[in-house]
Amino acid sequence: MSNGKSVLITGGTGFIGAHLARKLIREGYDVVLFDLYPNPHGIEDIKDRVKIVEGDVADYNALAETIERFNVGSVIHTAAMLSVAAATELRTAYNVNIDGTFNILEACRIAGIDKVVFLSSLAAFGPNSPFPFHEATYREPASFYGVSKVCGEVLGTFYHHTHGLDFRCVRLAVVIGPGRRGKGATVSFSKFVEEVVLEKPGVILVPDYTILPIIHVDDATDLLLALWKADSVDKRIHMSGGVSVAIEDFVSEVKKQVPKADVRYEMDSTVEEVAGTWTLLTTMLVQQGQEKVYREIEEIGWKLMIDDVEKLAAHFVKEIKDNREMYSSY
């Protein structure tokens, strides 16, 4: 499938990149992790089985050199500045999320790489996007992060139609799981679980009524692998479903797994604003009966497995307990 070539993951030692790399390594692929701030703790168990390159997706030359040096055959582009940071650091977010995606596509075109998988987001939609949501729905994002994801989608489809690049994209629901870091409104749904399992105060930066469409990182990376492996796809853009969960309900389920959990709410106005947009969109999805529509993508043989809040909490807590030493060192 890889024709003896490497798979390049941008943001490779980050949250989704690291989980994805583990699965590729287990299947015998040669993996290169490209990351501006490599985090060896996040890949402690596989760091001797991957190649790590410290580099910035905003630096075209660094990308091109890495692609040539490691005989890269395909790219899975996960690198991005998250929602809260993007809202407050617009220029940097533009450089990373928009210029960085352009650099990936252009470097692949010049190098003759034929496949790029791009992580987009349901943040591509906004309150004024018409219902029901689907792949071809008009996009009107309410955040700069969402704007940058829409730009990536448009750039990728342009490169497909104009240059024949096999661009594949998925708009992911909010991905949670161990190892999630960064300045994103949705990070609270992950980080507090790690903290309470490791017997620390679990700090949540969003109101308890915040509702998000959640997908566990195991399901998300299974989807990415299925999309990457498919011989061909009929659509350039796919959507993933998730589980619509209020943070207060998720906390309740986590406390069943960790009865002594010390959970604290500390409001952050920027985080709260972004979370409010997500809550509005999720509520609209639920009201329209759409929250379960995209839990299966027959075209690539993927189905959501961790499909309710009880499973989400139990699976998450177990993974941290089973890998306590690794997650304690983050």
Cα–Cα dist 285/95, whole Å: 31
H or E, element range at 114: none
Other beta carbons less than 10 A from residue 314's beta carbon: 15
Cα–Cα dist 133/146, whole Å: 15
Cα–Cα dist 51/33, whole Å: 6
Strands (E), the chain: 6-10, 31-35, 51-54, 72-77, 115-121, 166-172, 174-176, 202-204, 211-216, 237-239, 243-246, 263-265, 296-297, 302-303
Active site residue 159: no
Ramachandran class of 233: left when φ > 0, alpha when ψ lies in -120 to 50, beta otherwise: beta
What 3-state DSSP class applies to 199?
A: coil
The neighbouring-strand residues paired with 113 are: none
For residue 242, give the nearest of 147, 327, 177, 185 by alpha carbon: 177
Cα–Cα dist 117/96, whole Å: 17
220 within 8 A of 282, measured Cβ to Cβ: no
Pick the catalytic residue from 29, 94, 138, 145. 145
H or E, element range at 233: none
Q: Which residues are catalytic?
A: 145
